[in-house]
């Protein structure tokens, strides 16, 4: 079952405004997000392999927090969907949502790295 997403991949403008137009802070947070996201992904996959729904939900929730801070809206959507699927103990749905998340993370990594390469303060 494909879930519809209404959000853009990255709402840079929104994140920038929330940080009171502090570009340096935004870039620092983006860098921190990029540094942590691979590990977040691997703990999520490890929880998936153990079908540990509590852990899946907790890790998705944590990732949702940092993704929302940098405006990675599609990652936020994926995390919400994973939390809901974990709540329903629906392992197939968790698996498919994690696979969507992987794609979106890969896209946001490329987008953010490209941005940082061209705009580093």
CB neighbourhood size of 89 (10 A): 11
Binding mask 92-121 for another protein (x = CB under 8 A): ------------------------------
**Choice from 8, 38, 46, 65 touching another protein (CB under 8 A):** 65
Query: What tokens does 7 get?
Result: 């959000």
For residues 21 and 58, what is the distance between their CA atoms, to the nearest angstrom? 31
Segment interacting with another protein, rule: CB under 8 A, options 32-40, 45-53, 84-92, 101-109: 32-40
Segment interacting with another protein, rule: CB under 8 A, options 21-29, 47-55, 89-97, 100-108: 21-29
For residues 9 and 58, what is the distance between their CA atoms, to the nearest angstrom? 23
**What is the signed CA dihedral for 102, 110, 43, 82, rounded to 10 degrees?**
-40
Give, to the nearest 10 degrees, the angle between helix 73-87 and helix 53-70. 160
Nearer to another protein, 59 or 100 (CB): 59
Q: Is 7 in the site for another protein (CB under 8 A)?
A: no
Binding region for another protein (CB under 8 A): 15, 17-20, 22, 25, 28-29, 32-33, 36, 58, 61-62, 64-66, 68-71
């Amino acid at each position: 079952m494909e879930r519809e997403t209404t959000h853009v991949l990255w709402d840079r403008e929104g994140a920038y405004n929330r940080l009171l137009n502090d570009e340096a802070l935004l870039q620092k947070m983006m860098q921190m997000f990029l540094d942590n996201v691979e590990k977040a992904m691997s703990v999520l996959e490890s929880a998936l392999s153990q079908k540990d729904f509590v852990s899946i939900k907790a890790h998705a929730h944590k990732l949702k927090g940092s993704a929302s801070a940098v405006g990675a809206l599609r990652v936020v959507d994926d995390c919400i969907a994973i939390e809901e699927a974990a709540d329903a103990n629906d392992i197939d749905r968790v698996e498919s949502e994690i696979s969507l998340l992987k794609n979106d993370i890969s896209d946001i990594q490329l987008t953010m790295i490209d941005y940082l390469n061209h705009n580093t303060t």
